[in-house]
Structure 1
Amino acid sequence: MRNLTSLALAAVMVLGAIAAAHAATEVKMTGDARVYGNFFENRNYTGWNKTGTKTGDDFEIWERFRLRSDFIANEAVKFRLGIKVEDVWGHGTFTAANPDTAVQVDLAYLQFMLPGCDGVQVTAGLQDVNLPQSGLFYGNPVWNDKMAALVVTAPIIDKNLSVMAGFGRLIDTNRTYDSTTTQVADELDAYFLALPITVDGFKAIPWGMLAVAGRNANYTYKDTTDVAEWGNTYANTLVSAASSSNMTTPGSVGYWKNDQNPYFWVGGAFEVTALDPVKFYADVIYGAGAQSDHKAAQRQGWMVDAGVEYTGLDVVTPQVFAFWSTGEDKSTMNGSERMPYMRSEWGPGNSFLFDSSQELGKGSNMYTDPVGNYGIGASLNNISFIDKLTNRLTFVYVRGNNSPRAIRNARLYLNNSYFTMGHDLSYNDYVMGLNFDTKYMIYENLAAVMETGWAHGQFQESVWGHRLVSQSEANGNNAWKVAFGLTYKF
C-alpha cells in the first residue's frame, strides 16, 4: 500500500510538472494554404519530360498546406516545428478513396540567444539557409533551400556590421555504419560565412561557402512531387559532364581519384539606395571544385547579375536587369567551365523562365538554368491602379554561353541527362519568356492569384537531336501556362 501511495504521489508530481511546463510555454502558430489549378501546355517545349520519355498532363490541381508551430519558453528560447502537405488532387493525400497521408516535416529547429552575449543567436536543426542575394533577384543560385545546420548570427558593430556563420550536413548516405568494414567518404558537408555591412545608402554582404564532397555519397536526389523531374540535383550541378555518370568507378573518364573533394564559393551581394528613388542591385559569385582531382572532373566558373529600379511612382515600379555566367568550352575532357551549385533558386521579376518567386509553385516555370547562360530583361512591377489589385509584367531574353560541341559530346558519349534542352543552351540556342501576374486581396490574408506565362525557344538540331527539336518545332517552339488559385496566410 505504501508503494502504491508513493507511486501515486510521484505520478501527481510528474503531471504537475508537465502542467507547469505547458503553462510556461507559449505556442504560436502561423502558416499558409494554397489551392490552384495549373494549365501548362508543352512543358520543356516538347510536352514531354526532360529526357523525352514521358508525356506531360496539361491540367492539374495542386494543394499545399504548411503549419509552423513555435514553442516559446521565453523571449530567448524557442523551438519551431514545420509540417507540410503537398500533392495534386486525385493523388497521394488527396486521393478520394484510401488516401496515402504524406505529412512532411520541413522545419525542426531550436533557436536561442546566447546568455551574456548581447544579440548572439544560435539556431540548430532543419532550417532555411539562404545565401545572400541582392533584393532585385529572388534567391541565391548556389544554395537557397532548407538544411540541417548549426547557424550563429551576431552583431559586431551596431546597425553597421554583423556576422552569420554556420555548418550543415547535406548528405550522410550510410549514417552510423558504412556498408562494409572499410570506411568510405559518404558525406557532403558545408561551411558558410556572411558579413552584412550596412551604411546610409549602401548595403554589401560578402559571403563564402566551403563544401566537402565525399565520393561515396549518394548524390542522386529526386523530389517525387516535382513535375519537372530534374532529379540528380547534386551530381549534375556539382561535377563536370565527364564525371557525372559515375564519379566513383575507376576506369571511367572523369572518376574522382580523391576520396573527398572540396568545393568553394565566394561572392558578394550589393544594393545602392543613395540615389533613392533610383536603386541599384548587383551580385558577383565565383565557384570551383575538385581542383586537385583529374582535369576532367574539375569544375569552376563565374556568375554576375545587375539591375536597377525606379521606386518614385505610386502606380508602377519599372525594373531592368541582366545576368551573365561562364559556359562550357569545346572540350568535356578538361573539366567544366560552369559554376558549380547545389540547391538553386534564382530569377528576376517572377520570370516564367526561372524557378524563383512564383506563388503558385509547382509546375510554375520553364526551369531555365541561369548558370552557363546570359540574358537581359525588364519588368513593370507592383502595377496598381485599383485598390487591392496588383499586377506584374516581365520579359526576359536568354542565350547560351556553352559550346555546341561540348553539349553534343556530353549527350552522345557521357550522360544524356547532364544537359537538357531548354534548361541548358548552346551558343546557337535562345529562349525568351513573358509573364503577366495578378493578385487581388479578397481579405487581408486571403488572395486570388493568377500567374500566366509564355516561352519561346530556338534550339540547334545537331546538338539536341532531331526527335526533341522536331517535337518542339511542331509546337511552334512555344510553351504556355495559366495558373489560378487562392492563397491564405495566417
Structure 2
Amino acid sequence: MRRIVLAVAVVMTLCWSGTGSADTTVRMTGDSRVHGNWWSQRNYTGWTSSTAAGTRTYDALSIYQRFRLRSDFIANEDLKFRFGIRVNNTPWGNGTYTVDNPAVAIEVYLAYMQFKWPGSDITFTVGLQNMDLPISSSALFNANPVFGGSRSAAAMVTIPLSDEVKVITGFTRLIDSYASADPTTTQLNDELDGYLLTLPITMGGFSATPWGMLALAGKDSNYTLAIDEQNAPLASNLLALGGSRAARLRVAQNVYWWAGSSLALTMLDPFKFYADVMYGSGNGAEPARNRRSGLFFDVGAEYTGFNALTPQLSFWYSTGEDGTLRNGSERMPAIVGYWGPSNSFLFDASQDFVGGGHCMNVDPIGSWGFVAALNNISFVEKLSHRIAFTFAQGTNSSRAIRAGASITPSGYYPAPVTFVQMGRDLTVNEYVVGVNFDHQYNIYANLAAVVEAGWAHGRFERSVWGRRLVNQAESGDAWKCAVGLQYRF
C-alpha cells in the first residue's frame, strides 16, 4: 500500500506542476545521474569488510542510476512547501531497474513547509528537511563530521538579529523506534532527539558560526540502523567500544552534547583560510566503559587568484582510542557526517557519483592527515579537472581497535554489521594514501559528462585484522573509475 501511495504522489506532483492554482506557483528542479563504477581491490581486498570479513566479493563493474525531483509549492514569498522524491542509487538489473518485473523504489526524502511569521523576518522550517551543523567551507570540507550532509524530521527557527548576526535553533527527532505505541506495557525509551543552536556572524571578509547540539539518547533506541555503504551501525558512531551494545547501557536517557565553531577569513582574498573546531561527549552518567568523548579540528587554505586552477591545502586531527576500553572511548561521538576535503577519494564526501562503493570510507574521527589539491583546473572551455593527494594515519591504539574487531555483532540488523573495520578505523601504526583525478565536461549548461578516478594504498596491522585480510590488501592497491552523465534541471 505504501508503494502505491508513493507512486500516486509522483503522478499528482507531475500533474500539479503544469496546473498550479491561481494562488500557488509550482516550480520543479531535480537531477538525474547514470554512471558505471569499475573497481579493483575495493576495501583494499576486493571483499566485504564486515565483522565476518572477506565472506563476499564485489563485482568489478556496476552501473548505477539515481533520480531526484524537488517540487516547490509557493503561495507567496513568505509561504511555501517543498516535496522531494527520489529513486536512490539503484544498480541496473536490480530493484527498480530489473527487466520486466521492476520493484517500486520511490522514496520521499524531503517534505517541509517554510514560512515567515507575519510582519517579521522570523522564518520557520518544519518537516523532513536537509540538516547540517555548520562547517567553515562546504566547498572545501563538504559537511560537518558530527551531523551534516543528511536529512531528518525537524522544526527549525531562523531569527535575524541584524544584517550581520542571526540565530538558528530547533528540534529534530532522529529516531523513534516504535513510533507512538511501544510493544510492552512498560514505557520504552526508544527516541533519539536533538536540540540545535547556531549563531552565524558575518562581517566583511570574516565569518564565524559558534554552534551547539544536545541530544537525549534513549536506551531502547535502534542503534543498529546502518548509516553507510559499509553497513556500519549508528552504534559505531555514538557508543563506546566497551559498551557498543545498547543492551549494556544502564541509564534510560543518556545525554550527548557537542560544541564548536566554524571560522572563515576571506578578507585577504585571493588567499582564503578556514577552520573548524569541535568537542563532543556522551553517556556521562554511565559506567566509565560506556562513556565517549573527543576532539576534532580541521584547517584549510586556498588561493583563488589564478584563472586556470585553485591550489588547496587542508589538515585535520581527531583524538583516538587509548589502550584500554575500561575508561570509555576517546573518539568524538557523532550522528552522521559526510566530511571530506577536496573531494578526496578516501572519504565519503562530495563525489558526484555515489552508490556502488564510490570511496574508501576512511573515518576522519580517530585519525589525522592532510590533503593537497589543485581544484578548478581548466585550460579548455567547458572542461575542468581536479587532482588531490591524501595522507591519513590513525590516532587509535592498536589494542583498542583489536578489541573492537573482536566484538560479535549477532543480534544486529541488518547483518552483518561492524563497529571497527580495516581501512576505515586506523591505528597509530596504520596509514592510507590516496589520489583522485576527476574531470567534468559540460556538454550543455545543465548536462555534464563526469569521470572520477581514484587510487588508494594502505598499510595495516596483521595483529589487529588477521593475516588473511592484510595479505589480500598487500596483493594489490585499490583502483576505482566512475564514468557517467549528470543532468540537472
Whichever residue aligns with residue 352 of structure 1, its letter is F
Correspondence for 2:57 among 55, 58, 62:
55
TM-fit CA distance, 1:21: 8.4
Corresponding residue number in structure 2 for 1:164: 168
CA distance in 1, matches of 2:108, 2:39: 29
Secondary structure, in 3 states, of the residue corresponding to 1:266?
strand
Corresponding residue number in structure 2 for 1:400: 394
Secondary structure, in 3 states, of the residue corresponding to 1:110?
strand
Secondary structure, in 3 states, of the residue corresponding to 2:161?
strand
Corresponding residue number in structure 2 for 1:240: 240
Contact 1:50-1:230 at 8 Å conserved across structures: no
Corresponding residue number in structure 1 for 2:194: 190
Matches within 5 A, 1:77-156: 77-86=79-88, 87-117=90-120, 119-135=121-137, 136-144=140-148, 145-156=150-161
Moved over 4 A (4+): 413-416
Aligned residue pair count = 457
CA distance in 1, matches of 2:79, 2:285: 44
Corresponding residue number in structure 2 for 1:174: 178
Corresponding residue number in structure 2 for 1:436: 437
Corresponding residue number in structure 2 for 1:311: 304
TM-fit CA distance, 1:341: 0.3
Corresponding residue number in structure 1 for 2:452: 451
Whichever residue aligns with residue 105 of structure 1, its letter is V
Corresponding residue number in structure 1 for 2:261: 268
Corresponding residue number in structure 1 for 2:365: 371
CA distance in 2, matches of 1:25, 1:274: 42
TM-score, normalised to structure 1's length?
0.91
The structure-2 alpha-carbon separation of the partners of 1:404 and 1:28, relative to structure 1 and needing over 3 Å to count, comes to same
Contact 1:300-1:339 at 8 Å conserved across structures: yes
Unaligned runs of 5+ in 2: 1-18, 410-416
Correspondence for 1:257 among 250, 257, 269:
250
Q: Spell out, residue by residue over 1:47-88, the C-alpha distance to the aligned partner (whole angstroms, 9 max, x if none).
A: 111122211111111100100011111111111100001201
TM-fit CA distance, 1:429: 0.3
Contact 1:446-1:486 at 8 Å conserved across structures: yes
Whichever residue aligns with residue 242 of structure 2, its letter is A
Whichever residue aligns with residue 39 of structure 2, its letter is F
CA distance in 2, matches of 1:259, 1:414: 24
CA distance in 2, matches of 1:431, 1:264: 31
Correspondence for 2:270 among 246, 270, 277:
277
CA distance in 2, matches of 1:108, 1:461: 48
Secondary structure, in 3 states, of the residue corresponding to 1:471?
helix
CA distance in 2, matches of 1:112, 1:259: 37
Contact 2:132-2:144 at 8 Å conserved across structures: yes
Whichever residue aligns with residue 315 of structure 2, its letter is A
Whichever residue aligns with residue 306 of structure 1, its letter is V
Work out which of the two has the higher radius of gyration on C-alpha atoms and give 1 or 2: 1
Matches within 5 A, 1:201-240: 201-222=205-226, 228-232=229-233, 234-240=234-240
Contact 1:241-1:414 at 8 Å conserved across structures: no
Secondary structure, in 3 states, of the residue corresponding to 1:22?
coil
Correspondence for 2:77 among 71, 75, 79:
75
Unaligned runs of 5+ in 1: 1-19, 249-254
Determine whether 1:386 maps to 2:380: yes
Whichever residue aligns with residue 289 of structure 2, its letter is A
CA distance in 2, matches of 1:411, 1:443: 49
Secondary structure, in 3 states, of the residue corresponding to 1:349?
helix
Secondary structure, in 3 states, of the residue corresponding to 2:22?
helix
TM-fit CA distance, 1:174: 1.0
What's the RMSD between the two structures over aligned residues? 1.5
CA distance in 2, matches of 1:440, 1:21: 36
Corresponding residue number in structure 2 for 1:64: 66
CA distance in 1, matches of 2:96, 2:299: 42
Corresponding residue number in structure 2 for 1:288: 281
The structure-2 alpha-carbon separation of the partners of 1:173 and 1:212, relative to structure 1 and needing over 3 Å to count, comes to same
Secondary structure, in 3 states, of the residue corresponding to 1:23?
coil
Contact 2:366-2:425 at 8 Å conserved across structures: yes
Corresponding residue number in structure 1 for 2:11: none
Contact 2:141-2:340 at 8 Å conserved across structures: yes
Whichever residue aligns with residue 182 of structure 2, its letter is D
Secondary structure, in 3 states, of the residue corresponding to 1:329?
coil
Q: Spell out, residue by residue over 1:90-131, the C-alpha distance to the aligned partner (whole angstroms, 9 max, x if none).
A: 0000001211010000000011111122x2110000000111
CA distance in 2, matches of 1:81, 1:219: 28
Secondary structure, in 3 states, of the residue corresponding to 1:355?
coil
Of residues 21-30 and 459-468 in structure 1, the stretch that sits farther from structure 2 once superposed is 21-30
Corresponding residue number in structure 2 for 1:251: none
TM-score, normalised to structure 2's length?
0.91
Identity %: 51
CA distance in 1, matches of 2:311, 2:166: 32
Secondary structure, in 3 states, of the residue corresponding to 2:406?
helix
Corresponding residue number in structure 2 for 1:3: none
CA distance in 1, matches of 2:481, 2:407: 38
Contact 2:20-2:26 at 8 Å conserved across structures: no
TM-fit CA distance, 1:414: 6.1
